[in-house]
Structures are given as structure tokens and as C-alpha cells.
């Protein structure tokens, strides 16, 4: 709060498409999709209409002992679209609650299966899976954890296949497999106590958009099968088309035991999360004794308004052939960004689907803040992580808006003396 004395909050009055407008009618291009949630722009007429229609019918009903049309439809649609075998949906209200649900369900599965000693989890170095206590326990960001060390449970991390760490000239795939070999060693030694391996497929967002080769995921799936450890794919940020396919796991042609979705699932409108899982997991809870069941609830689980926003979002994917049109947009952005790629102060320019990132060689320790403030003056909402600048724009961004984004970013780098 003290920082805001010199860096005031930006009050936003309205949004339209990729633009946010403040009360003086200054505009900002939302290059981070309001923290990675927005897909089809602010105030999207089709999502607005779906929510408004639902509002006239049913705003909410509890999802215990009751059900409703939007949640049934959404579950069926997701089952059809997700990697084969993920036929069961459990709803939560945000990303962190999806992580909690998956961790609990995994450990409870092993307990129900006569292996109660499997209670540990592993994650990648620099992983991010949310900030409630359980999720924080599998998150590897020191700044977020430090103050709560005594409250969270300890879990091991394994080396991240982040391509930036590859040896000079080493192929990303070769490097990914080299990292997977370390996962293998860890599983070999500890599998008897490990319930699950949780991972952000293809891109580790909070690690600074660390991107890696899908060969790692394929190998991780094999190893998890071999050592009887669940694979939890946290697609909260990378699902819903972000990496170029509807789900990132598709690129490795794998089915995880748990698939977590949130953020973009409602197009960035309302909080909702879903944990998709397999029949094998479902069956372990299918019993007469109540204690074998998965007893976990959130008041707003499967909220009908949020489900309708999600259904409208899926409708847009189908009607507008979004994945193909994103491929064309990504190619266009990569062409326009050529001067950025070769900029003397820019390193590791990289792209996966509709995510771009690069590091800036800067003398300023407070680069992120300076860049954020200067970007606002240049009509961009840019939110660097350390010296990593990234673009994760809403999919409705036009070619003209892409030109603007790249042109302004180059000006900002010049002004910062980078
Ligand atoms: C944002 C995020 C979460 C947490 O979601 P919240 O809705 O913010 O709790 C978990 N995992 C990943 C990969 C995320 O990007």
C-alpha cells in the first residue's frame, strides 16, 4: 500500500475489446489479458448476452443434491473437447481451489486404494499453482512462500525443463529429455511416498513465461505410469487455446490423471474452475461408505452464471475457428516483432501460441516498475516479471492493435535507455 503513494492505482471505468478506459478516457491496451484470464475482449457482446439470459432464469443453486442445465452442458462439452478419458468434472471457484481439489483427490485416491503412505507431491522448480496453503506447498516462488514457511507442507521440486537453461547450442527437445532423466531418478527413489506430480504444461507462467519442449510432458507421463504416480496438468493459465491447441497437453498427445482449468474458462468474466479426471479415479471413490467419498465443497461450486460464460466462450471457439485464426495472428505478431527479436537489449525472444516473452538487459533493478509506469503513458498495460516482458493479449487483438503493441514496446525500451 505504501508503494501506491507514489504509484497510484489506475481506476478503470469500462472496457471494450483489448482496451481498458480510465475516468479521463485514457485507454490502455490490456496486453496481459487482465492477468491471463481474458480471451475474447472486455465487454464481449456474446458472453454478455449469455450471462444476461442466464440471469433471467437462475443465478445460483447449490450443486449438492441439485444440478442445473449449464453445469451439465459444460461438463459434457469439456469431456468431448479434452484429451480422451477425462470424463468426470469436479467444480471449484478459482484456480487455487482447483489445485487443492486435485491434491486432495489424488492422495485420497491412494488411501482408498490401500496405499495411504502416498501423500507427497512433486512440482517443477519455479512452479506456480496458486497461493492457498496447499497450493502454495507445491508452488516454488520464494517471495510468495517465505512468510508462510511454517504453515505449509514440504514437497520436493525437480529441475525445470525451461529452454533458457539449455546448454549453448543444445536442442530444446534434447534438453527436455535430459531434465526428464532427473525426474526419473527422483521417482525411482521416492515413488512409494509420492501421490502426484503437478506441472504447468509447456509454459510456466509465473516463472517468467518459461517455455519448454513437449517431449518433457510425454516422458513425464511415461514415468508417472511406470512409478504409479498421478500426473496433474495445471492448465489454469495455458488451457483454453493459449498455447495454440485448446489444451496444452494435446501437443504431447497425453492424458493427465487430472486436468485443471480456470482463468480463461469463462472468457475472463467470472470465477470458475474445474478439475477433470478419469474413470479410474472416479471408481476409487464410488462406494457406500460416505468416508470413501470425496468430501469437498465450495459454496459457489458450478455457479450457473459462470458456467454460461464458459459455454459462450466455447461457442466462440467453435463459431470463429479461433485456434486457426490465432495461428495467423501469432505469425503476424512474430513478423511485426522482428525488430524486437534483434534488439540489442532483448534476449531469449520466445513464443508459444498466444504467449510471447523476452528478457531485457537493463541496468535498472526496478525495471518492472519503471516499465509498467512508462507503458501506461504509452497506452499499454504491460506488467513485466523482473526483467521479463511478456505479451499475453486477448485473442481478439487486431493486426492494427498488434502494430501498436510492438511499436509502443520499442519506444518504451528506447525511453528506458535499455
Ligand atoms: C493463476 C494460476 C493459478 C491460481 O489461480 P487463481 O484463480 O489465481 O487462484 C494456479 N496455477 C496456475 C498455473 C496459474 O497461472
- pLDDT (tens digit per residue) in 360-398: 999 999 999 999 999 999 999 999 999 999 999 999 999
Q: Residue 273 phi/psi, 5° resolution? A: -140, 160
Among 238, 263, 272, 274, residue to substitute to test ligand 1 (most atoms within 8 Å of Cβ): 263
For residue 69, give the C-alpha cell: 442445465
Atom of ligand 1 nearest to the CA of 271: 7
pLDDT, one tens digit per residue, over 296-352 is: 999 999 999 999 999 999 999 999 999 999 999 999 999 999 999 999 999 999 999
Where among 302, 319, 336 does a domain terminate? 319
Q: What is the mean pLDDT of residues 352-361?
A: 98
Where among 319, 349, 375 does a domain terminate? 319
Shared domain for 237 and 354, answered yes or no, is: no
The CA angle 259-265-266, to the nearest 5 degrees, is 155
Expressed in angstroms and rounded, the spacing between residue 139 Cα and the centre of ligand 1 is 10
Q: What is the mean pLDDT of residues 148-171?
A: 95
Q: Could you tell me if residue 145 is inside a domain?
A: yes
Q: Could you list the beta-strand ranges (E) of 268-377.
A: 273-277, 346-352, 355-360
User: Is 192's pLDDT higher than 90?
Assistant: yes
Q: Could you tell me if residue 68 is inside a domain?
A: yes
Among 35, 134, 202, 237, residue to substitute to test ligand 1 (most atoms within 8 Å of Cβ): 237
Protein residue whose Cα sits closest to atom 6 of ligand 1? 95
Among 101, 236, 390, residue to substitute to test ligand 1 (most atoms within 8 Å of Cβ): 236
Q: Could you tell me if residue 42 is inside a domain?
A: no
Neighbours of 361 (CB within 10 A): 12
Shared domain for 259 and 278, answered yes or no, is: yes
Expressed in angstroms and rounded, the spacing between residue 35 Cα and the centre of ligand 1 is 10
Q: Could you tell me if residue 36 is inside a domain?
A: no
Protein residue whose Cα sits closest to atom 15 of ligand 1? 237
Give the residue numbers spanning the domain of 401: 2-30+321-416
Q: What is the mean pLDDT of residues 268-294?
A: 97
Strand 258-261, strand 273-277: pairing:
antiparallel
- d(Cα 252, Cα 110) in Å, to the nearest integer? 26
Q: Could you tell me if residue 353 is inside a domain?
A: yes
- Burial code (b: 16+ CB inside 10 Å, e: under 16) for 384-403 equals beebbbbbbbbbbbeeebbe
Q: Which stretches within 131-290 are classed as H helix?
A: 133-137, 142-145, 172-190, 215-226, 279-285
**308: Cα separation from own chain's centroid:** 21
- d(Cα 304, Cα 240) in Å, to the nearest integer? 19
User: Is 37's pLDDT higher than 90?
Assistant: yes
Atom of ligand 1 nearest to the CA of 131: 9
Expressed in angstroms and rounded, the spacing between residue 271 Cα and the centre of ligand 1 is 11
CATH of the domain at 370: 3.90.1150.10
Shared domain for 245 and 364, answered yes or no, is: no
Expressed in angstroms and rounded, the spacing between residue 17 Cα and the centre of ligand 1 is 23
Q: What confidence score (pLDDT) does residue 169 get?
A: 94
User: Is 271's pLDDT higher than 80?
Assistant: yes
Q: What is the mean pLDDT of residues 286-303?
A: 94
User: Is 61's pLDDT higher than 80?
Assistant: yes
Q: What confidence score (pLDDT) does residue 417 get?
A: 83
Expressed in angstroms and rounded, the spacing between residue 287 Cα and the centre of ligand 1 is 32
Average pLDDT, the chain: 97
Expressed in angstroms and rounded, the spacing between residue 34 Cα and the centre of ligand 1 is 13
Where among 258, 284, 319 does a domain terminate? 319
Atom of ligand 1 nearest to the CA of 204: 13
Residue partners of 116: CB distance under 8 A and separation at least 6: 110
Q: Could you tell me if residue 123 is inside a domain?
A: yes
Among 36, 128, 211, residue to substitute to test ligand 1 (most atoms within 8 Å of Cβ): 128
Shared domain for 331 and 294, answered yes or no, is: no
Shared domain for 194 and 342, answered yes or no, is: no
- How far from 198 is each of 55, 357, 378, 380, CA to CA, in Å? 36, 23, 39, 34
User: Is 102's pLDDT higher than 90?
Assistant: yes
Q: Could you tell me if residue 281 is inside a domain?
A: yes
Expressed in angstroms and rounded, the spacing between residue 135 Cα and the centre of ligand 1 is 9
- How far from 103 is each of 79, 128, 363, 369, CA to CA, in Å? 21, 14, 41, 35
Atom of ligand 1 nearest to the CA of 35: 1
Protein residue whose Cα sits closest to atom 8 of ligand 1? 95
Q: What residues form DSSP beta bridges with 124?
A: 158
Q: What confidence score (pLDDT) does residue 183 get?
A: 98
Protein residue whose Cα sits closest to atom 5 of ligand 1? 95
pTM passes above 0.95: yes
Shared domain for 314 and 329, answered yes or no, is: no
User: Is 101's pLDDT higher than 80?
Assistant: yes
User: Is 418's pLDDT higher than 80?
Assistant: no
Shared domain for 375 and 325, answered yes or no, is: yes
CATH of the domain at 276: 3.40.640.10
**108: Cα separation from own chain's centroid:** 25
Ligand 1 pocket, residues with Cβ under 6 angstroms: 94-96, 99, 128-130, 200, 205, 234, 236-237, 262-263
Expressed in angstroms and rounded, the spacing between residue 237 Cα and the centre of ligand 1 is 7
User: Is 416's pLDDT higher than 80?
Assistant: yes
Among 127, 129, 144, 203, residue to substitute to test ligand 1 (most atoms within 8 Å of Cβ): 129
- Burial code (b: 16+ CB inside 10 Å, e: under 16) for 165-188 equals ebeeeeebbebbbebbeebbebbe
Shared domain for 156 and 285, answered yes or no, is: yes
Expressed in angstroms and rounded, the spacing between residue 95 Cα and the centre of ligand 1 is 4
**218: Cα separation from own chain's centroid:** 19
Shared domain for 219 and 349, answered yes or no, is: no
Q: What confidence score (pLDDT) does residue 9 get?
A: 95
Shared domain for 83 and 223, answered yes or no, is: yes
Expressed in angstroms and rounded, the spacing between residue 407 Cα and the centre of ligand 1 is 30
Number of folded domains that form the chain: 2
Expressed in angstroms and rounded, the spacing between residue 235 Cα and the centre of ligand 1 is 9
pLDDT, one tens digit per residue, over 221-268 is: 999 999 999 999 999 999 999 999 999 999 999 999 999 999 999 999
DSSP code at position 62: -
Shared domain for 286 and 386, answered yes or no, is: no
Q: What confidence score (pLDDT) does residue 161 get?
A: 98
The residue count for the chain: 418
Shared domain for 115 and 190, answered yes or no, is: yes
Expressed in angstroms and rounded, the spacing between residue 312 Cα and the centre of ligand 1 is 22
Q: Could you tell me if residue 44 is inside a domain?
A: no
Amino acid at each position: 500500500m505504501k508503494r501506491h503513494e507514489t504509484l497510484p492505482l489506475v481506476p478503470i471505468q469500462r472496457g471494450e475489446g483489448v482496451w481498458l478506459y480510465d475516468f479521463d478516457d485514457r485507454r490502455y491496451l490490456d496486453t496481459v489479458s487482465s492477468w491471463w484470464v481474458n480471451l475474447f475482449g472486455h465487454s464481449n457482446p456474446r458472453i454478455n448476452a449469455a450471462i444476461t439470459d442466464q440471469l433471467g432464469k437462475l443465478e445460483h443453486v447449490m450443486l449438492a443434491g441439485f444440478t442445473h442445465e449449464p453445469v451439465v452442458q459444460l461438463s459434457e462439452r469439456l469431456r468431448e473437447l479434452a484429451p480422451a478419458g477425462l470424463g468426470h468434472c469436479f467444480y471449484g471457484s478459482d484456480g487455487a481451489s482447483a489445485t487443492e481439489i486435485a491434491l486432495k483427490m489424488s492422495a485420497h485416491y491412494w488411501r482408498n486404494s490401500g496405499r495411504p503412505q502416498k501423500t507427497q507431491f512433486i512440482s517443477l522448480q519455479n512452479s506456480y499453482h496458486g497461493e492457498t496453503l496447499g497450493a502454495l506447498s507445491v508452488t516454488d516462488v520464494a517471495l510468495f512462500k517465505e512468510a508462510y514457511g511454517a504453515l505449509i507442507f514440504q514437497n520436493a521440486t525437480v529441475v525445470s525443463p525451461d529452454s533458457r537453461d539449455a546448454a549453448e547450442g543444445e536442442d530444446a527437445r534434447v534438453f527436455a529429455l535430459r531434465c526428464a532423466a532427473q525426474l526419473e531418478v527422483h521417482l525411482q527413489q521416492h515413488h512409494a511416498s509420492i501421490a502426484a506430480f503437478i506441472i504447468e504444461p509447456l509454459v510456466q507462467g509465473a516463472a517468467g513465461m518459461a517455455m519448454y519442449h513437449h517431449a518433457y510432458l510425454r516422458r513425464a507421463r511415461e514415468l508417472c505410469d511406470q512409478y504409479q504416480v498421478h500426473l496433474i496438468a495445471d492448465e489454469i493459465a495455458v488451457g483454453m487455446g493459449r498455447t495454440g491447441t485448446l489444451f496444452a497437453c494435446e501437443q504431447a498427445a497425453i492424458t493427465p490423471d487430472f486436468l485443471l482449468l480456470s482463468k480463461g474458462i469463462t472468457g475472463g468474466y467470472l470465477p470458475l474452475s474445474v478439475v477433470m479426471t478419469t474413470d479410474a479415479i472416479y471408481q476409487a471413490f464410488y462406494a457406500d461408505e460416505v468416508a470413501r467419498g470425496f468430501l469437498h465443497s465450495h459454496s459457489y461450486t458450478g455457479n450457473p452464471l459462470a458456467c454460461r460464460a464458459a459455454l459462450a466462450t466455447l461457442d466462440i471457439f467453435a463459431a470463429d475457428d479461433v485456434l486457426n485464426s490465432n495461428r495467423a495472428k501469432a505469425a503476424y505478431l512474430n513478423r511485426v516483432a522482428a525488430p524486437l527479436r534483434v534488439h540489442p537489449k532483448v534476449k531469449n525472444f520466445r513464443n508459444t501460441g498466444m504467449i510471447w516473452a523476452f528478457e531485457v538487459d537493463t541496468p535498472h533493478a526496478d525495471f518492472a516498475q519503471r516499465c509498467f509506469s512508462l507503458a501506461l503513458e504509452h497506452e499499454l498495460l504491460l506488467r513485466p516479471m523482473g526483467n521479463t516482458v511478456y505479451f499475453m493479449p486477448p485473442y481478439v487483438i487486431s493486426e492494427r492493435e498488434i502494430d501498436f503493441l510492438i511499436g509502443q514496446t520499442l519506444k518504451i525500451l528506447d525511453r528506458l535507455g535499455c
